[in-house]
Each structure stands twice: as structure tokens, then as C-alpha cells.
Structure 1
Amino acid sequence: MQNYAAEVLAKIDERFYLDSKTQSVVNNGLTFEYSGVNTVTIYDIDVVPENNYVRSGVMRYGQLVELGDGVQSFTLSQDKSFAISIDRGNREDSKMVLAIDDAVKRQVREVSVPTTDIFTLAVAQGYANTNNQKNQTPTNLSASNAFQSVLDRRAALIEAKVPVDKGLTVFVTPRTEAFLWRDPEFKVICDRTKEDKATGKIGEIMGMSIVVVPSSYLAAKTGFLMLSNSVLVRPIKFNSIRTGDGFSFGIDGWVAQGRRYYDVFVPKNKGVAIQWWEEA
């Protein structure tokens, strides 16, 4: 019987990963600083109705109305961490393929980045859903209605006095993207020179950046999520990574520890600039 030789190569079968899909839609409007605190409070200021000016008597401009204000408080909730160890023996017995610096990079790109993206989109969509900012009758998208449905939600933003000429992003599922490309009108007017493969942006149309994300990034039965880039606030109080010798942990090898403290918020006066499409 023939005996065949075998060899283990110092090669790693790395997984596919995605760059951040949401970096362009956060911290473009308000920004929050959490120096020494975990909660910040901001104000929103009222306006008063306009009167008909009268040309005789007193109070010709109308009765004085004391200007009111409200407050909104935002408390950080996402305190995330990871811890990795590599034993010296395991490293040396696996052709040195285990490296702590590489492990940290892998952790960030495969776990931290998508987790943050999913949470960011969930906050935006959750706000829109709570405030009924979506199509009123769940309707499945198709090649014949996908683009029109996007325009329908864009019209809803216009009705809410949201600027739509630029600075809108539409997060679509791969299924919705396929429907859009099958729409002749969409294909003609979509500006593909603005494509960015790293972020999933397939182009721009009527002031909207179209970004494709895995369906797992959005809630079930979602056709797309549309929002103004100035809505979301994503403060990061700290984002730290420490690597070093594992001796203090009783490990002959190396350790890495990471921690990030952040959150995503929707200020109420900006929240009207979110819409999503619910499928049946």
C-alpha cells in the first residue's frame, strides 16, 4: 500500500468581511461629548404661532408668549469588550500562525464593525417603527415597484420638511437592489460614478446614496431603510485595545483585551428624517 506524505502549511483561511456601512450617516449633525459622565442632556426650543398685526390699541403684535423649552437626555448603554489569549505552546505548535496583533485586527473587522453597524441601523429603524414612519400597508417589493416605493418614502420626508436634495442614504437589501437594477428608469438616472465598493454604495440618485447591506443588518420584512445623514449621533466615550505579555494572567504567551463604550441616538427633532419600507 502506498504511503503519501502530508504537510501543514503556515497559511490561514481568512473569512470574508465587510467595511463599515454606517460611518457616513453618523455624527454629521449634533455631536455629544461624555467627558466624566455617562449621560448628557440637550435642549429643544419651542416656537410661537404667527399673529395678524393690528394697527391700533396695545399689544399690536399679539399677546406675549413665554418661550418654552424641553430637554432630552441620552445615556450610554453599549459597553462592549473582548479578551483573547494565545499560549506560547499553541503558537509554536501551529507554525506561528497565531499572532496577537493579527487576532485583534480580525476581531475588530469581523465582530466589532458589523456589530456596530447592525446596532446603528436597528436604532434608526426602531425609532421610525415606533413613530409609524413607514408605508402604512406592508407591500412586497418587485422590479415594477421598488424604485417607486423609494420615491414614495422620499416624498414622505419632503412632507416632513426634511431637505432631500442631498444627504440622504437608502440602505437596501440585496433582494431590493436586484429589483432596482431591473427598473429601466432607475438604471438610466442612477449615477454610478459615485459608486464605492468598500461601503456598498452602488450609486446616487436624486440626492440619495444607495447602499447595499446584508439582509441580516436590518429587521425582518425590511425592503429598505431611508434616513438623512444628519440624524444619528454615535458618541464613543472610549475605544481601547491593550496587548501584552500574558504573565500577569498566569499564561505563558500573549493576551489582548478590548473595550468600547458607545451608543447611537436619535434626537427627536431630527427623527422625522427616517423612513422604512415594510414588506408583507
Structure 2
Amino acid sequence: MAVNLAHKYSNKMAEKFTKESYVAGNASTDYDFAGVKSISIYTPQTVDLNDYKREGQNRFGTPGELQDTIQEVELSQDKGFSITIDRGNNEDQMKAKNAAKMLNAQIKEQVVPFMDKYTLRRWVELAGTIEGLSAAPTRDTIVEKIFDGAKALDNALVPDQDRILYIPTTYYNMLRLSKEFLAVDTLAEKALSKGYVGMIADMKAIKVPDVYFPEGAYFLITFKGSVLNPNKIKTIRVLSEVAGIDGNVLEGRNYFDAFVLGAKAGGVYAAVDGSKVLAAPKITVSSGSAAITAVSGVTFKYTLDGSDPRYSKSAKLYTAAVTLEAGQTIRAFAEKAGSYRSGVAEAKNA
């Protein structure tokens, strides 16, 4: 017989996860993955303004049906653990392997770090703006670089509230010691939870361990409404009286992922090593045909409906020249394993 004692620990473990995680609670909760593995996100496309005409038909401009861009996101991370605690071993070690304590250690030392590292890596990789810096930030330049990131969000019309700066310890130490530090913002104020260390450029700053960031990434800025980190299944349980085992079995499972919303991608800015960022595709249009210059080891994806190919469900893999209708625009980006993807290039068939 298996006795599920999950009710004794699940609420406490969920609370523990939230306190230990650097990213939990800092993403949009507007989308529900209940009952599904993937969801399609529809974003209406607004239109340009016209000059109003005071006579004739269509005075407001030629009407057109409201169009959507579609982004499909699918959960890919399904992780679990199983630990046995033999009754004899526990007795011989003065019951040091208490089930609740071991669950707490597993969550703190394995589950939370794994999920946070994955989430930060994906948000960096999928950022709407991946800014390649020619050199790593220094104590003299870190403040300027952070304000450049904030400016990028301003220019993308991202709301001022709910912006978060994730900064690795190495660069936080530079920021903290820089001569501009106190003059710019009161970052000396201490926060009590989730790594908050203060404010800069009207953003909450969260200090994270260096190893939580992907290679070549210096810092990350996110707007809460621009990112997702759904955790669909959070199983935590202790089983006793399991057949064949004299002791307890600890089990846990998390079914999760992390995404950037394409329609709000301007709210995610990653400052990275410029040598790791791919160049935007070179597109040439001739006689109604669009061709992308080949680059060894690099693949290209494109759209013809005006949507951002980095996030759009309609994006296609480029294999050969693409035929364009009159007035049609091709948008494309480059990607390669081990590199940060490029920005979007576009060309129009006049």
C-alpha cells in the first residue's frame, strides 16, 4: 500500500519554491495551460493612420479586415526526481534523513536552481532586443549600459512599472562600486527577498549567481507582461509502506517552460557578448524574387505576412529564393546553435 503524504508538504514546498526562486512571480499570468501542452496566442494587428478626406467614399481610408499574428508556445520541460530513504539507514544515522528535510533540500538545491537557470537562459535567447556589446561591461560602463537597456524599453513604449533587471553577481559588484552608484539611484537599500538589491533606472534590480546566466550574457531586463514561465505540474509527495521498500519514497515533478511574448518582445532586453550574436540576414529582391545570402552553419526563418519571424507561427525555414507579390515584404532572422540569434531584416518587392 502506498500512502500519499503530499498534503503535509505541498503547500510548504510551494511557498519554499517562491521564496527561493529569483524569477517566480515575475512573469505574466494571463495565459492558462490547464488541460493543454501548447497554446496559440492571437495578437490583433493595428493599422497605420490615414489622411481624412472630406468628400467622396471611404473618407477614413479603405477599410480592411482586422488581422492577427499567431504565436504558438509549447511546454518542453518535464522533469522529475525519486529518492528512497531506507528505514535502516535512517535509524543508523540518528534519523538525520528526515523526509521533510530531504524534500526541502531537494527543492532548494536542485529543482529551483534548474528551473531558474532554464528560465533566464530562455528569456535571454528569446529577447526582443539582443544587444551585442563590443566589450564586457566594466565598473565605468555598467551604469551606462543598463540605462541603454532601459532606453530601449522606453522607445518600445513599454510601461515603466513591472520592469526587472536581472544582473549576475560579477556585474552587480561593478555596479555597486561604481562612482555613479549612489548618485544615480539608491541601490544601497537592502531588499528582504528574492534577490532584490535595490532600484536603478526605475527598475527593480535582482542579483543572481553568475552561474545562473548563459555564457556570454551580461544582464537581462524584462517587463512582467512580456514573459511567461508556466509551471503546469508541481508534484511533491512522500510515499510510505511502498511494496519492496522499507522506508519512504520522495517524488517530485515539474512540467514547465519559459517564453517571450512576440507581441510584447520589446519588453525584453539582453546585453550579451557581441561576438556571439549573429548578423542579420542579407536579403536581395530581384524580379519579384527574394534571396537570402547563405552563411555556413546558419539557418534562416522568414515570414511574408508582416509578422515577426522569431515568434510567428507562420514562420518558415528558408531553403531557396522566395517569390514575392507586388508590395509584399519578407522578414527574416538568422539562428545557429551556440550563438545568439540575429535581429530581423526585411526587404520589400516594390
TM bin, normalised by shorter chain, reads: 0.7 to 0.9
| Aligned mates of 1:245, 1:137 — CA distance in 2 | 54
Residue matched to 2:20: 19
| 2:117 match | 118
Residues 116-155 of structure 1: pairs in structure 2 closer than 5 A: 116-128=115-127, 133-155=129-151
CA contact 1:82–1:257 (8 Å) conserved in 2: yes
- Report what 1:267 is aligned to: 261
Moved over 4 A (4+): none
1:191 equivalent in structure 2: 186
1:62-84 deviations in Å (ceiling 9; x for gaps): 11111111222221111111101
Larger displacement relative to structure 2 (192-201 or 223-232):
192-201
Q: Deviations over 1:179-200 (max 9, x none)?
A: 1122222223323475324322
Deviation, 1:31, is 2.4
Q: Which runs of 5+ in 1 are unaligned?
A: 1-16
Q: Distance in 1 between matches of 2:41 and 2:272?
A: 32
Counterpart of 1:256? Answer: 250
What secondary structure is seen at the aligned counterpart in 2 of 1:230?
Answer: helix
Aligned amino acid, residue 240 of structure 1 = T
Partner of 1:6: none
> SS at 1:23's partner residue?
coil
The whole-number CA distance in structure 2 between the counterparts of 1:117 and 1:34 is: 19
Q: How does 1:147-226 map to 2 (within 5 A)?
A: 147-163=143-159, 165-192=160-187, 195-226=190-221
Question: What amino acid is the match of 1:184?
Answer: K
Query: Aligned pair 1:232/2:233, yes or no?
Result: no
Distance 2:47 2:192 in 1: 47
Q: Deviations over 1:65-106 (max 9, x none)?
A: 111112222211111111010111111111111111211111
1:15-94 matched pairs, under 5 angstroms? 19-27=20-28, 30-94=29-93
Whether the 8 Å contact between 1:33 and 1:237 is mirrored in structure 2 is: no
Does the CA-based 8 Å contact 1:127-1:266 persist in structure 2? yes
For residues 245 and 181 of structure 2, what CA distance do their matches in structure 1 show?
A: 58
Secondary structure (helix, strand or coil) at the match of 2:80 reads strand
Say if 1:137 and 1:96 are closer, same or farther in 2 by CA, change over 3 A.
closer
Higher relative contact order (CA 8 A, sep 6+): 1
Paired letter, 2:22: K
Give distance in 2, aligned partners of 1:48 and 1:261: 38
Measured after TM superposition, the shift of residue 35 of structure 1 is 2.7
**Matches of 1:166 and 1:32 in 2, distance apart?**
20
For structure 2, list consecutive stretches of 5 or more residues without a partner in the other structure.
1-16, 275-350
Q: How far did 1:244 drift?
A: 2.0
Tell me the equivalent position of 2:100.
101
Q: Secondary structure, in 3 states, of the residue corresponding to 1:270?
A: helix
Does the CA contact (< 8 Å) of 1:139 and 1:278 recur in 2?
no
Which structure dedicates a bigger proportion of its chain to strand?
2
Q: Normalising by structure 2, what TM-score?
A: 0.69
Give the Cα separation in 2 of the matches to 1:240 and 1:72.
Answer: 29
In the aligned structure 1, how far is the partner of 2:25 from the partner of 2:191? Answer: 12
Letter in 1 for 2:249: V
The answer to whether the 8 Å contact 1:169/1:227 transfers is: yes
Report the more deviating stretch, 136-145 or 82-91: 136-145
Query: What is the CA deviation profile of residues 222-279 of structure 1, one whole-angstrom value per residue up to 9, with x for unaligned ones?
Result: 221111122212222221112121432x111111111121222211012221112224
Q: Provide closer, same or farther for how the CA distance between residues 196 and 274 of structure 1 changes in structure 2, counting only shifts above 3 A.
A: same
Task: Give the conservation status (yes or no) of the 8 Å contact 2:147–2:201.
Answer: no
8 Å Cα contact 2:126-2:260 kept in structure 1: yes
Cα RMSD between the aligned structures? 2.0
For residues 236 and 136 of structure 1, what CA distance do their matches in structure 2 show?
31
Could you tell me how far apart the structure 1 residues matched to 2:231 and 2:137 are? 36
- Identity between Structure 1 and Structure 2 (%): 28
* Inter-CA distance 195–270: structure 2 relative to 1 (3 Å threshold): farther
In structure 2, C-alpha distance between the alignment counterparts of 1:158 and 1:244, rounded to whole Å:
52
2:161 counterpart letter in structure 1: K
C-alpha contact (below 8 Å) 2:232/2:254 kept by paired residues = yes
TM-score normalized by the length of structure 1: 0.85
Query: What displacement does 1:34 show?
Result: 2.4
**Quick one: distance in 1 between partners of 2:58 and 2:31?**
41
Aligned to 2:131, the other structure's residue is in SS state coil
Q: 1:278 to 1:234 in 2, by over 3 A?
A: closer
Retained in 2: the 8 A contact 1:141–1:279? no
